[in-house]
Structure 1
Amino acid sequence: MTDRTVSTTSPRRLLLPGASTQVGLLAIVGFLWVVFTALAPGFTSPMNLFSVGRSLAIDIVIGFAQMVVLATGGMNLAVGSIGVCAVMSTGYLLQDVGLPIPIGLAGGLVLGGVLGALNGIAIVRTGVNAFIITLASASLFLGAMLILTKAVPYNALPPELGTFGRLRIGGYISPLLVIAAAIGAALYVLYRHTALGRQILAAGANPRAAAMSGVPVGRVIIFSHVLSGVLAATAGLMLVARLGAAMPAVGGEEWLLPSFIGPVLGGTLLSGGSVAVLGTMFGAALVTTIRSGLLVLQVGNFWLQLFLGVILLLAVMADRYRSVYAERRSLGRR
């Protein structure tokens, strides 16, 4: 049984090899773990496993932030910039204003949702492609935040944040990974078991047909961008907990490739109308494994960018194959 969720109004309904894609991802991840363990025995040490878990949690949520917009047939190139804005605003609220931790974190999440809403409203009201809008807003958000904060990190945050980020469950599992899994479960329920989720997928599969069926296409697009902003902010706050500080260097362009690789490689269609929550988590696991393996092997970071670029290219080719396969099967059934 695959976790692939497809709009019931789409002709591509469950005709795609989603389960085989996810099994293949698991096999690749498992193979890489064997290779990295053989080359660097320290790869499976308790310390590294804990570190991998924390990185995986953040990569999963970054992938989710892109996935929820891909479901509508759009994209969000401002995921990293929104994450930076949430990180720095939370640092300001906690360190300079002195707000309690829950309120400071809530402020970062609210800002992420507001920035996502601005993207969604601009896309719906102007009719301009999401690529252009979010490309422009990525520079706008990041530039404004760096100007306002002067790119100075917040290093005097409440120590409870860093303590939470270092907390271990059972000696290996980070609570950040539990949070990521909980978010995944919530998204699974949203897309598979709620009317709103079905409307989002219907709007992504065929906006015109969805509108004729009474789906408020504009509203679901705005909602998806708000959700994307909140998820990007969540990933940023998880990174704050991991580092124990709010750093302006996090996010930005570094999140762009991983945000696409996870969902697309996991089975989410670039054309919209389909999401794969579990597949996105597996795709994120591949990104995390490669990054951690290269780090343990002390390989330069430029190799990571090379591998991620190749993986994204393969993911796009796989997405194209899935779309062609679905169309052919659809025509065969008519």
Structure 2
Amino acid sequence: MNNASLARVLHSPNTPLAIVVVLGVAVLTVQSGGSFLSPISVQTFFQFLAIPIVIGLAQMATLAVGQLNLAVGAIGGFSACLAAIFMADFGLPGWLGGIAAILIGLACGFANGLLVVFTRINGFVVTLATMTILSGAQYALVGTRTITADAWPELQAIGRAQPLGIPLIFWIAVAIAVVLAIVYRHALLARDMLASGGNPLAATLSGISNNRSLVAAHALSGLLCGFAALIVLASLPGANKSVGGDWLLSSFAAPIIGGVSLVGGTVAVLGTVLAATIVRLVDSARAAFQLDPSWVNFVIGAVVLGTVAFDRVRARRQSGAQRRQSKTPDAPPTAAVRAVEGA
């Protein structure tokens, strides 16, 4: 690695996150006397890391266009429960049930995007409303019932598979992240979404449809929530009204800590994955040190708030520097220029 490459790595916003991950693993390994790195512990860690990664990416998709998706958990929970009913009560094959979960999530996200565009109401309010509606619909579907995973053995086989000793569902989450990174780098629609999020007026003047970008971002977010629902069906022993209920904080924590701006125009796929890993390490530390579960939410919430505050301060400093630079008087004219002006 040459000096230029090393400098890029050291100045990358992902480097501090990677260091935190390494330190977290080291602390938990020492605390557990090495058992944290045992095969069973590693498998469990990665199994429960898949969902935070996918829902973090789902939230990132809407943050990229300056929107929020408060319905991440509701979409995932509703998709999982409705697909579970299709399989348990109507005999839908497991592989079709998994596809149904993904498509239901896509449909819910697409509906969110259309509502934002046609009502001209901020996505915060729209997704707050749809979160309430879908949470109620989820309870109406299953009530106090838990639909056991015996109805979808094909998906459970995916959940039990462990290529290279790592759960397959984690590899699915990584594959989703890789595909998403490629899409945001090369796909025209994805670049349009980032342009709309960064500067809607400039995007409009460039011929980009901001409405299309908003619908596409919410649809992508819903699609990823559908994938999260698929992972739930593959990894958990059943589906009930609690699925998705605790996803909201994690969905914001991963992209915000990972470096995604709340004002739109940016994505950070690798940063989101690393931040989701940190969130999972915090949860593991809670169990290892026998902390109260409420402390986990407190720590994650405090980190998210601190990250947002730091981002705002940095943005204000950059804006102030740009204003001062624009007010700097032009350099005095040269002798040649003065001669031309005098002539």
Could you state the TM-score of these two structures normalised by the residue count of structure 1? 0.89
**Bigger shift: 211-220 or 291-300?**
291-300
Q: 1:181 to 1:187 in 2, by over 3 A?
A: same
Aligned to 2:278: 286
Q: CA deviation at 1:20?
A: 3.6
Counterpart CA distance in 2 for 1:45 and 1:296 is: 14
Summarize deviations over 1:199-224 as a string: whole Å, max 9, x none.
00010011122112110110111011
Q: CA deviation at 1:296?
A: 3.2
Aligned to 1:161: 155
Task: Check conservation: 1:265, 1:318, Cα contact below 8 A.
Answer: no
**Bigger shift: 155-164 or 86-95?**
155-164
Q: Which segments of 5 or more consecutive residues in structure 1 lack a partner in the other structure?
A: 1-16
Aligned to 2:86: 93
Counterpart CA distance in 1 for 2:231 and 2:321 is: 42
| SS of match in other structure, 2:247 | helix
Q: 1:281 to 1:235 in 2, by over 3 A?
A: same
What percent of counterpart residues are identical? 36
| SS of match in other structure, 1:290 | helix
Aligned to 2:173: 180
Q: Which segments of 5 or more consecutive residues in structure 2 lack a partner in the other structure?
A: 1-8, 327-343
Q: 1:297 to 1:236 in 2, by over 3 A?
A: farther
Q: 1:18 to 1:333 in 2, by over 3 A?
A: farther
Q: CA deviation at 1:24?
A: 0.7
Counterpart CA distance in 1 for 2:262 and 2:215 is: 18
Q: 1:29 to 1:213 in 2, by over 3 A?
A: same
| SS of match in other structure, 2:151 | coil
Task: Check conservation: 1:81, 1:142, Cα contact below 8 A.
Answer: yes
| SS of match in other structure, 2:267 | strand
Q: Which protein, 1 or 2, shows the higher relative CO under an 8 Å CA cutoff with sep ≥ 6?
A: 1
Counterpart CA distance in 2 for 1:20 and 1:328 is: 24
Task: Check conservation: 2:102, 2:229, Cα contact below 8 A.
Answer: no
Aligned to 2:114: 121
Counterpart CA distance in 2 for 1:313 and 1:92 is: 39
From 165, 187, 197, the counterpart of 2:190: 197
Instruction: Decide which structure has the larger Cα Rg and report it.
Output: 2
Aligned to 1:13: none
Q: CA deviation at 1:266?
A: 0.8
Q: CA deviation at 1:159?
A: 2.5
| SS of match in other structure, 1:23 | helix
**Which 4+ residue blocks in structure 1 deviate beyond 4 angstroms?**
328-334
Q: 1:236 to 1:329 in 2, by over 3 A?
A: farther
Aligned residues: 316
Aligned to 1:25: 17
Aligned to 2:210: 217
Q: 1:103 to 1:80 in 2, by over 3 A?
A: same
**1:241 corresponds to 2:234:** yes
Map 1:61-140 onto structure 2 (within 5 A): 61-140=54-133
Task: Check conservation: 2:258, 2:275, Cα contact below 8 A.
Answer: yes
| SS of match in other structure, 2:21 | helix
Counterpart CA distance in 2 for 1:30 and 1:84 is: 32
**1:260 corresponds to 2:252:** yes
Summarize deviations over 1:109-141 as a string: whole Å, max 9, x none.
111111111111111111111111111111111
Summarize deviations over 1:240-295 as a string: whole Å, max 9, x none.
2111322321212x111111111111111100001111111111010011112222
One-letter identity of the residue aligned with 2:95? P
**1:38 corresponds to 2:4:** no
Q: CA deviation at 1:75?
A: 0.7
Task: Check conservation: 1:40, 1:297, Cα contact below 8 A.
Answer: no
Q: 1:274 to 1:80 in 2, by over 3 A?
A: same
Task: Check conservation: 1:43, 1:293, Cα contact below 8 A.
Answer: no
Aligned to 2:310: 318
Task: Check conservation: 2:198, 2:263, Cα contact below 8 A.
Answer: yes
Counterpart CA distance in 2 for 1:321 and 1:205 is: 18
